[in-house]
Amino acid sequence: MGAYIIRKLGEALAVCVAVSVIAFVLVQSTGDLAVAMGGLDASAEETARLREVYGLDQSLFQQYLGWAWRVLQGDLGTSYFSQEDVLTLIMESLPVTAVLAVSSLTLGLLISIPAGVLCAIKPGSRFDRVCLALSVLGQAMPSYWVGLLLILLFGVTLQVLPISGTQSAASFVMPAMTLAWFVFPVFLRLSRAGMIDVLSSDYIRTARAKGLPRRTVLVKHALRNAILPVVSVATVQFGFLLGGSIVVESVFSLNGIGLLAWSAIQRADYPVVQAVVLVVAIIFVLLNVVADLLNAALDPRLMSEQ
């Protein structure tokens, strides 16, 4: 296990370096940053001065090394727009998004896995068909619309939940429900298909042949194998929720990292954009490592292949 973890972390490190290069090049390749910062009215001298101040006159390679060295020391730069430390900006908004992502993912999994298992036990039953219909709805409805519907119901009509902001835990209920509704179809289908597959497998027949009680067969023998793909996808989804919940954050006016990235892009605030891309990407990579380790813990075959 130790060697496996070290190998996975080594791979992750390599991917992180690659990601940092891509994040850097992506932002650089959007055009001349000095012109973008100075705006259309800036004179040639002003642009040149901007270029000098921000080190944009150096070679790309030097710029990357300088940026990477500062990043390693925890210096993600300063926002062009607000002149605030980028790290501080990210540390303010990341927890909001993280809370949202964790709660919506947990909610989604808690509903979809048991539902998927129940569907798989009797495929074609009424419960199964209702769940599948719901999952089609979940995939078809855009999350901003779901968010607005929830606001209408709980915020406006019933007036039981706050419709925006991050003042209390209650503020997170509707955004979390919106995102859970978004992830529910994927997990339902995965756990249902996985479970149907596993239940028809030979080792389930072996377990039944031993005379084990139904519950033991279902939980101990089937579920553990069936949720392997769910674990992989859940961690990736978690990454998406961290980086891509912009829509829901703006519907509910949550100052999360999605909103931060969105406003930074609008203002051509490149240090922030670059830093958000880097941070989200690194979290993504780490989540994949976590997924690999979780899968390895659940499925011993992965650790000792050949």
Partner 1 sequence: MNHPAPLLDVRDLSVTIQTPMGPLSAVRGIDLTLQAGETLCIVGESGSGKSMTSLALMGLLPPRARARAGHIRFGADALDPDAPGQIERLRGDRIAMIFQEPMTALNPTLTLGEQLVEGLLHHDPSRTRAAATARAVELLSACGVADPERRLTQYPHQLSGGLRQRVMIAMALMTKPDLLIADEPTTALDRTISLQILALLKDLQKRFDLGLILVTHDFDVVREVADHICVVYAGEIVETGTRDQVLNNPAHPYTRALLSCVPTSHASADGRLGFLPGVVPSLIGPDEGCQFRDRCALAHAGCAREAPWQEAGTGHRIRCTLAVDDIATLYRAPVPPAAKAYQPDQNPAQPALEVRGVIQRYTLRKGLFGKKGQLTALRGIDLSVNKGEVLGLVGESGSGKSTLARAMLGIERPAEGAVLINGQPISSVQRTRRARLVQPVLQDPYSSLNPRRTVEDTIRLPLDIHGIGTVEERRREVRRMMDLCGLPTRTAGSFPSQMSGGQRQRVAIASALVLRPEILICDEPTSALDVSVQAQILNLLKDLRAEFNLTLVMISHDLGVIRAMSDRVAVMYFGRIVEVGTGRDLFEHPQHPYTELLLGGVAKVGGQGAKVTGTSPNPLAPPQGCSFSGRCPRAVDRCQADDPLLAGTARHAVACHVPA
Applying CB under 8 A, which of residues 207, 236, 246, 265 lies at the interface with partner 1?
Answer: 207
Applying CB under 8 A, which of residues 20, 225, 235, 237 lies at the interface with partner 1?
Answer: 225
> How many other C-beta atoms lie within 10 A of the C-beta of residue 269?
23
Please answer whether residues 284 and 239 qualify as being in contact, where contact means their C-beta atoms are separated by less than 8 angstroms: yes
Half-sphere exposure of 297 (CA within 13 A, CB side): 10
b/e 276-287 (16+ beta carbons within 10 angstroms → b): bbbbbbbbbbbb
User: Which CB sits closer to partner 1, 94 or 223?
Assistant: 223
Count of residues interacting with partner 1 (CB under 8 A): 29
Does 263 contact partner 1 by CB under 8 A?
no
Here the tokens at position 301 are: 């075959």
User: Which CB sits closer to partner 1, 212 or 246?
Assistant: 212
Q: How far is the CB of 95 from partner 1 (least distance, A)?
A: 32
Applying CB under 8 A, which of residues 193, 208, 240, 250 lies at the interface with partner 1?
Answer: 208
Distance between CA atoms of 256 and 147, rounded to whole angstroms? 16
In 3D, which of 287, 240, 266, 280 has the Cα closest to residue 93?
Answer: 280
Distance between CA atoms of 218 and 195, rounded to whole angstroms? 9
The three-state secondary structure class of 75 is coil
User: Which CB sits closer to partner 1, 6 or 130?
Assistant: 6
Applying CB under 8 A, which of residues 76, 171, 221, 259 lies at the interface with partner 1?
Answer: 221
Binding part of the chain for partner 1, among 110-118, 127-135, 201-209, 246-254 by CB under 8 A, reads 201-209
Q: How far is the CB of 202 from partner 1 (least distance, A)?
A: 4
What is the contact surface with partner 1 in residues (CB under 8 A)? 7-8, 10-11, 14, 201-203, 205-213, 216, 220-221, 224-225, 298-301, 304-306
